[in-house]
Every structure is written in structure tokens, then in C-alpha cells.
Structure 1
Amino acid sequence: MSKKKKILLFSILIMMILFLTACNNQSELKKVEDNAFLMDTLVKVRAHGNGAEKAVKESIDQIEAIENLMSKTVTKSDVYKLNHNPKKEIIIAPETMVVLKKAKKYANLTAGDFDPTLGALVNLWGIGTKNPTVPQPSAIEKALKNTGYQYLDLNEESAKLTQAKVKIDLGGIVKGYAADSVRKIMKKNEVKHAFVNLGGNVLVIGDKVDGSAWKIGIQDPRKGRGSVMAIVAAKDMTIVTSGNYERYFEENGKLYHHIIDPKTGYPAQNNLLSVSIISSSSFDADALSTSIYVMGLKKGMKFIETIDEVEAMFITKELDVYLSSGLKELVEIKNKDFNLIEGEYFAN
């Protein structure tokens, strides 16, 4: 055998050894997972790597801390203090202020289709509680007079509700903030592969241990959790879904879901079953999934197409699926009941 051939074979052998070693190292990465019931939902955090155990514990603790700061029912929270001390300046924790400012930003950006001051309406309907009810029109009109993001006054370190009976409810954005906080914890602990699920708000960090993309299922809105109608290939990405199947009740044969239209005071009435937002920021995606659902297909699609690096998937009651322009290579429809609609339908 010539000297050149020996060198070539030796080089190939070394490369194979390095490749196999790398595969073994990846497959042997420590996996840590924990679950907790926080923010009125089941939270799952999974991480791989040497820093996984610390990262997962810190993540669960951080989500609980965020809940204690921003829950409307925790008596020591910033939101509770705001809601129960109208027209008074309340000192706010920096983390809460970040969420309040982002919430007000999206309220302005969506012309009120997202509104963090829907507490009076949310309480009135009681959807997700033991005793939901269809309120009288007069009660809804009264509650509408006690909503409006213009009544939320934010300063550097304090906030104030300028009208009595206005109530803050951050349920449409706080889980997104929590997910992005977990991302920071994972990065700090040098975790490169992680999966986070906050009741349907899904965040994946990096790729899977084997180097492939995460496969995130989009729930079939006609069925319960675990029923998948499409798969999204994801890496360093978040997927947040809002739909009429998440929390609802039925009365006299009519379904009433929890996504309240701030302009009418009733559950948003459009032809949508669900909207999924795909983005790098869970914080933004959370607010967008709610507001885009309220907007409906045509207005919502136009809005999404104006935002860089944010995509959306709409499912209508006819089981038609509409994808924003950047999603077409990432989504695979798995259920033949659903019909992918293609074309520039959002341009007009």
C-alpha cells in the first residue's frame, strides 16, 4: 500500500472515531425533566446537558416567582395590589413592569384587539371557573365601561389604574414572558437542548440531542390534547396557540370560549377554531396569538405579514388551514381532514 493511501485511510479512520465519539457524547447527555402546576396549567420543563438539573430547578422556581408577582388572585402580587387600589400609585417590581409595558405596547399596536384590562369582563363570564355564565347584555355594557388600556398609567417604577373597577388580567401574555425567562436560564446554565411547555405555550431551545429539529404538534382543535393535525419542524423557536377549544362552556347549544373581544365584551365571533403563532419570542407570540384570533383570518393575516420573523397558522371551522408566507416549508399537515389553502389570499 502506498504512503498516500495509508495517510488517507488513517484520516478516514480518525474522522470515523471522532464522529462516533461525538454521537456517543450526545446520546449520553444528562436528561432532566420536571412538571408543576403553575399559572393554572401544567408546566413541563425538560433539559439535556451537564447544567440541566440546575437549569430545570431554576426554571420551575422562576415560573412560580412570576406567578406570585403577576397573578390576579395572589394577594401579595403586583397585579392584585393594582386591581384593589384604584387611582393609587403602586410600586411595581421590574419584572412586572416589563410585562405591563409589553402588554400596553401590543394594546396600542393592535388598536385594542389585545387588552390587558379585561379583568372585569373575564370575571363576569367566569369561563374556566366552576360557574361560567352568559351575562345579561346590560352587565356586559357595564363591564365594557370598566375596561380600556388607556386607564393603565405606567411610570418608571410604578403603575396606576386611573378608573375604579378596571381590572388587570395578564393571562394573555404572562406565560410567554415566563417561557422567555426559562430560555435565559437555560442559556446561563449552558443548556443547548431543552423543551418547555406552559399549557400549550411551547418553546424549544436549540435542536434535539441527535441534531434533528424538534417536531412540535399542532393540536387538532376538534379533539383533546395529544391529537395532532400538523407538525412544525422547530429549532430555537416558540409556538403559541389560541383556540376556542381551550376553555369554554356551552349553553342552549351555543359554545362560549374564553377569548374575549375587547370591543364587544363577548367571546370573539369569527370563523376560526385556532391560531398558532410561530416566532423566536414567546413573549410576543403569546400576545399575538390572542389578538390575532380576535382579529380573524383576513385582518390577522395582513397584520402578521407586516411583522418580521413572526409566522401564523390559521384553522377555520371548515378545517381549512392558512399559513403565513414564511411557514410553508416548516409545516406538515398530518390529518387528511384538513385542507391546506395556498395562494395570496391575504393580499386583498
Structure 2
Amino acid sequence: MEQPSCASKKFFGMNTEIECKLFGEHAKEAMQAIQLELHLLENLWSRYLPSSDIGKINTAAGKEFVTVAPETFALLSQAKSFSKLSEGVFNVMVGPLVDLWDYKHAVRPPTRSMVKKVLPLTDPDDLVLTADSSRVGLRKLGQSIDVGGIAKGCATDYCVGILDAYGISSAFINIGGNVVVRGTKPEGNPWKVGIRHPRKPDSMLGVLDACNTSIVTSGDYERFFIGPKGKRWHHILDSTTGYPVQSAFSSVTVVYGNSLVADALSTLLFMSGIETGLEILSRFPGAEAVFADSRLCVLITPNLVSKFHIAEPMELSVVKRKEKNEKHNKKKE
């Protein structure tokens, strides 16, 4: 049997490492289109580019509204939806906090007075969208948007659209940990997607068998620093306190057909805890999750039982949305 044409490439974009493996008659053309699309989206959404839509919105904060591209307006509309769903827990208005914590250079947390000063700038209701004119504005001087919790997922969905356009039926795309797989591997086997161990940098927590879905992980190991007293300060910030969220988890992986939703849900579930997280997950039929708690015990939703292969001996629990008096169904690996 003749093997399909393959295009495979690793490159840097959207401020992260990207890997693509495409199989099909038009794989090379699709690869070029994906690279171009990601470059265009980065130029729209990067908060570090003053000429981007996000850069312009941030610069104009408290002054004027900015007309943005349809892709940017759609992205921010989705961000507003997830903010409303989570009652403000998911919040792209954390830009001032992200700048304050400065994870690339920080060696100690900011002072309480510094945190208190920027908290009034993070109100999610201060992001204003006018649908009739595709204009976006921030109400106060000093406010800024950071779409890091949703942009890679949205970009991955645009890549899926390109796969459709070029008839690519087998593909693996990884945008900085946001993974989407199309179909199966060319030989017919499911794709194997590793979930990184949150405390062992070069090890896997487990492996998922996956076809036609997205797999996105949020965790406290992605960007962090160790403070003077040995405390880990991670990058997922709680805009109600100004500090890294005190999560019950080390990582949360969401498996879902839409990558933007999986991206937002992985962050939201990391911040919400198991009870609220499972309730939120139940609002998205077909969404599944792998939770690694602070003790590195692993919890998975039922439909992943046959698809998740734990990498080393540890406690594994199967969880679902619980009714009253319903208990976790535990098993040992």
C-alpha cells in the first residue's frame, strides 16, 4: 500500500515551539498555509507587538476604541463568554498582573501594595466589545489584555480549518502544548499524545490514545519561579487576589473536539477545583479530563479509562459529575 505524502516541520511561532506532521496529497501546501496563518494570527494577538490588535487595544486603554480584525473580535468574544460562564474566574484582563509578576525575570513575588495597586485594573467587565462595528475598548488607563489562556487554542482551530481545506485526513499539530490530532496515524493506529509529568521535566505522567480531538494541558510547571523561601510561584493568576491561584492540582488536561474550548477549560478547571471543575466540564458534552492533584494522584473522567495509559505506578481514580452521596470509584494501578 502506497504511503501518503508527508510534511513534517518544527518551527517557532506565537512565542512557542510548534510541531506539525501532516499526511496527504497536499501536505506540503497545507504546511505552508499553516505557517502563514500562525504568523498572521501572532501579528494580530501578541501583546508584545504594538502593531497587533491586542497591542493597539492595550495602548488605547481608557482613551478610545480600536477597530479590530474579525479573528480578534471572535477571540475576545469567546473570552467574554468564558468569563461570564466562570463568573470572572477566567479573565483575559490580567495583563497588568502578568506584567507585575514578570515570570521571565522574577526571583521574588511583588509586594502586597504593588498587587493591591493593579487589582482594580483587572475587572473583566471593563473589556467592552461593540459587535456592530468590530470595535474593542478598555475602560481605564493602564488596563491591558493577555489572551495567553485562549489564543493558542483558537489558533489550533484555525489550523484544523486548513487541514479541512487541503483534504488532510491524518495530522498531528502541537502549538506549545496545545495538541490537535486529525484521524489516525497513516498505518491506522491512534495517535499517542503524552501528558508531561508536572514534577519530572523529562518524564510523562501518562499517554493518551487520540483521534480527531484536541488535548490541552494547564499546569503550575509551565512558567514559575522559586522564591527566597523555597515557595513555587506559578503563572496562572487569580485576578481576585492578584496572586497565583491556590489550586488543588498540579496539572489539568482537557480532551475535546474544539481546541479553543479545551484551552480555556484546562485553565478554568485548574483554577476551580474538582467539584466545580466537573460541573463546568459537564456543560460541554464529550469533554473529558485528566487531573493530577497536588499529591500527584491522577483522576480521569470515565470515557478516558480505555484511552489513558499511566506512565508509572501511582494512584488512579475514575471520576464523574457527582450526585449527592455519590463516591469516587477508585482503582489502583
TM-score under structure 1 length normalisation? 0.89
1:33 equivalent among 4, 8, 19: 8
**Is the Cα contact below 8 Å between 1:229 and 1:334 reproduced in 2?**
yes
After TM superposition, list the pairs within 5 Å mapping 1:1-150 onto structure 2.
24-25=1-2, 28-87=3-62, 88-127=64-103, 129-150=104-125
**Is the Cα contact below 8 Å between 2:89 and 2:271 reproduced in 1?**
yes
3-state SS of paired residue (1:117):
helix
Give the Cα separation in 2 of the matches to 1:323 and 1:116: 28
Partner of 1:247: 223
Partner of 2:331: none
The CA deviation string for residues 33-67 of structure 1, in whole angstroms up to 9 with x for no partner, is 12221122101111011110010111011111101
Partner of 1:258: 235
Letter in 1 for 2:222: E
Letter in 2 for 1:90: V
3-state SS of paired residue (1:114):
coil
| Stretches of structure 1 lacking an aligned partner (at least 5 in a row) | 1-23
Letter in 1 for 2:56: K
Give the Cα separation in 1 of the matches to 2:137 and 2:199: 41
* Residue 228 (structure 1) aligned with residue 204 (structure 2): yes
* Residue 132 (structure 1) shift: 5.0
The CA deviation string for residues 188-214 of structure 1, in whole angstroms up to 9 with x for no partner, is 011111110011111101111011111
Runs of 4+ in 1 over 3 A off after TM superposition: 342-348
Q: 1:343 to 1:237 in 2, by over 3 A?
A: closer
1:173 equivalent among 131, 150, 167: 150
2:306 equivalent among 306, 322, 329: 329
Q: 1:133 to 1:123 in 2, by over 3 A?
A: farther
Give the Cα separation in 1 of the matches to 2:115 and 2:247: 19
Partner of 1:9: none
Partner of 1:287: 264
Greater Rg by CA: 1
Give the Cα separation in 1 of the matches to 2:137 and 2:81: 16
Partner of 1:19: none
**Is the Cα contact below 8 Å between 1:126 and 1:133 reproduced in 2?**
no
Give the Cα separation in 1 of the matches to 2:195 and 2:322: 22
2:138 equivalent among 136, 161, 170: 161
The CA deviation string for residues 265-305 of structure 1, in whole angstroms up to 9 with x for no partner, is 11111221100010001011111111111112222122212
3-state SS of paired residue (2:98):
helix
Letter in 2 for 1:82: I
Q: 1:344 to 1:308 in 2, by over 3 A?
A: closer
The CA deviation string for residues 141-163 of structure 1, in whole angstroms up to 9 with x for no partner, is 11111002100110121111112
Give the Cα separation in 1 of the matches to 2:151 and 2:321: 32
Partner of 1:277: 254
**Is the Cα contact below 8 Å between 2:17 and 2:175 reproduced in 1?**
yes
Give the Cα separation in 2 of the matches to 1:176 and 1:45: 15
Letter in 1 for 2:79: A
* Residue 193 (structure 1) aligned with residue 170 (structure 2): yes
Identity of aligned residues (%): 33
Partner of 2:330: none
| Stretches of structure 2 lacking an aligned partner (at least 5 in a row) | 325-333
Q: 1:148 to 1:132 in 2, by over 3 A?
A: farther
* Residue 186 (structure 1) shift: 0.9
3-state SS of paired residue (1:263):
coil
* Residue 343 (structure 1) shift: 5.3
**Is the Cα contact below 8 Å between 2:107 and 2:226 reproduced in 1?**
no
Give the Cα separation in 2 of the matches to 1:347 and 1:265: 33
Q: 1:168 to 1:196 in 2, by over 3 A?
A: same
**Is the Cα contact below 8 Å between 2:279 and 2:321 reproduced in 1?**
no
CA RMSD of aligned residues (A): 1.4
Partner of 2:289: 312
The CA deviation string for residues 206-252 of structure 1, in whole angstroms up to 9 with x for no partner, is 11101111111111111124x21211111101100000111100012
Give the Cα separation in 2 of the matches to 1:344 and 1:289: 16
Q: 1:346 to 1:136 in 2, by over 3 A?
A: farther
TM-score under structure 2 length normalisation? 0.93
Paired residues in the alignment total 320
